[in-house]
Amino acid sequence: MNKVIGVFAHVDAGKTTLSEQLLYRAGALRTPGRVDEKTSVLDAAEVERQRGITVFSGQARFTFGESTYYLLDTPGHTDFSAEMERALRIIDFAVLVVSCAEGIQAHTETIWRMLRAAGAPVFVFLNKTDRAGADPDRVYAELRKRFSPDIVDMDAGFTPEVLTALAERDDAFLETYLDGAPDEAAAQAAARRLVCKGRLFPCLRGAALRGEGVDKLLQALDRLSETRYDINAPFGGTVYRAAHDGKGNRVVFFKALCGAVRVRDSLSGEKIQELRLYQADRYEQVPRIEAGMLCGAVGLDGVRPGAGIGPRGQSITCESTPALTFGVTAENADLYALYEALQTLENEDPALGVTRADGRLRIQCMGPVQTEILQQAIWERFGIRAEFGDCRVSYRETIAAPIIGYGHYEPLRHYAEVHLLLEPGARGSGITFDSALSTDALDQSIQRQIEQVVLEHDHRGVLTGARLTDVRVTLLYGKNHLKHTSGGDFREAVRRAVRQGLEQAECLLLEPVYDFRADLPAANLGRLMADIQKFSGTFSPPISEGERAVLTGRAPVSELMRYQSEVQAYTRGAGYISLRFGGYEPCHDADAVIGASGYARAADSENPSESIFCAHGAGFAVQWFDIHKFIPPYKQIPATLYTKEDKTI
């Protein structure tokens, strides 16, 4: 039986140490590595060993009982949440590590929420029970109160308390329980059912550095988890990571969800050259991969992390969106060389969102630690001394009302024309596409080209040049030329149609917001509430807990991004505020941001709004505001096309 498990924790909770011990106790390692001694097998990258933190999802496998486990040791630092979240989406079971010395930390809450949103079964491991000041009972009680009452202490096995918890949650076991003679086999079967359904979260205790409690965790994983994969179905997989090996080969890491795939098979239009089973930074080549396995593949150069592959592939999207952008320059390389290096990194991590405008490069990051890691990676891999500065909030743009955009691309011997309906989308929906045009009017293959450009092109708004989001795009009309239309013509027409629509539209600037949870002395609550109001934030009624208070709410990233240290200062270290990305909302100071951006929409040559027409054997540009003069009456869109289902424009 194949099982994929992921180990998750707030940074420094002992996650990698526990992962090493799992491999050691299962016989996959001769000796467990140590993070403090820089001998960790799973932190294989030099930057990870130097800094003592996990940056990439380390992968290894081991066998225990009758199962083969594929283990992912995920990053614990918030700056690498996107890498962690992609791993979280492909696991079968999670091990959440909580330090009994530090207790529930800020990122622990975020991880728990993501795990529950994904429906992942979770085993909780209370670590560092041997540390001075550790209080496992207090942490356990706090977990049940703040996370879920379904977290049940199973460190001592099937105690009367555990049996009662099983009976309360499983009807089949309840009958046996009421008869007064539940045996361990029945209890184990009930616990396994509940764990797999996400209705019971076994909690165990130990000290990973000493190996204490690790055997119990292995046994719990073996007895209380099961998976069912269909290896006879058509192949489907999910890509969760991409990297380059020491020879420069691009390796795509994916999970096989169903079916099987072999070397030389074609996926996403590319042929697999190698299939690799990884053990940290080492691997062995295999001819075939089947459902429930993690592997690396060489040959899928066009596939990015998050993509689904195969007929039954499933794509994933991450909510861990970088809220900051940084300007990037280089001391010893030209702009183009630096841009190529950044694009290579973006191909491995799409969340980086590299942009180039006005001779400047910008990159999206979660925080300063990530920029330091990137700086080191750019030097080691490309020999470029990059500098990161000019930190800004990463804004987005959208529209407030429907509008129709027109794009015409007709230089000599080229032709493409499209009409696109742009409508406001739900917040957080990104860019979506639909077609109201019959395939008799425009071939299906061309409509797919239009859809691909709409969804994959990095459309930019007209207020600050920020990325466009939360827009529904509907194809209303399109026309090609049997002789002159070539591959890239509709790409040009679609880009111009979107931009022409934005030029006419009522546009909105969106800013990222943080959801916050503050835990601080009650005496400092007034100061915190006043600050949040000053920051244009909102909050729920505070909760008093003795001499302490808890406040939750939302506020703009631009106001809270440096506020954590301020809370530490005015509470003298007795309070903290945890932040997590909470999506985008209309900007609270839009006019000031737009003015400060200095964006000149007419000068943005990479995002043209004009259309190209042809006359007398030569192409000429028509500005967006004059387009209506060049659309002959016979090309006007039929009125019926402006009505689709219950939407009338």
Q: What are the pLDDT digits (tens) for 290-322?
A: 999 999 999 999 899 999 999 999 988 777 778
Predicted local distance difference test score (pLDDT) of residue 143: 95
Can you tell me the distance from the alpha carbon of 599 to that of 509, in angstroms, rounded to the nearest whole number?
13
In angstroms, the first-to-last Cα distance of the chain is 55
Predicted local distance difference test score (pLDDT) of residue 634: 45
Beta strands in 117-269 (DSSP E): 122-127, 151-153, 201-205, 236-244, 250-258, 260-262, 266-267
Predicted local distance difference test score (pLDDT) of residue 198: 94
Helix (H, G, I), strand (E, B) or coil at 417: strand
Copy the structure tokens of residue 497.
């149609």
Helix (H, G, I), strand (E, B) or coil at 5: strand
Per DSSP bridges, beta strands 250-258 and 294-298 are antiparallel
Predicted local distance difference test score (pLDDT) of residue 638: 52
Beta strands in 444-603 (DSSP E): 467-468, 471-479, 507-521, 538-539, 543-545, 548-556, 576-586
Copy the structure tokens of residue 129.
């029970």
Residue 257 · residue 92 · CB < 8 Å = no
Residue 627 · residue 498 · CB < 8 Å = no
Residue 578: CA atoms inside 13 Å, Cβ hemisphere, count? 14
- Note the pLDDT tens digit of each residue in 429-459: 899 999 999 998 899 999 999 999 999 888 9
Predicted local distance difference test score (pLDDT) of residue 132: 87
Residues (pLDDT < 50) of the chain are: 634, 639-649
- Note the pLDDT tens digit of each residue in 582-595: 889 999 999 999 99
Q: b/e per residue, 303-314, with b = 16+ CB within 10 A? A: bebbbbbbeebb
Kindly tell me the sign of the dihedral angle through the C-alpha atoms of 295, 297, 301, 303. Answer: negative
Contacts of 346 (CB under 8 A, 6+ apart): 352, 353, 354, 363
Predicted local distance difference test score (pLDDT) of residue 253: 95
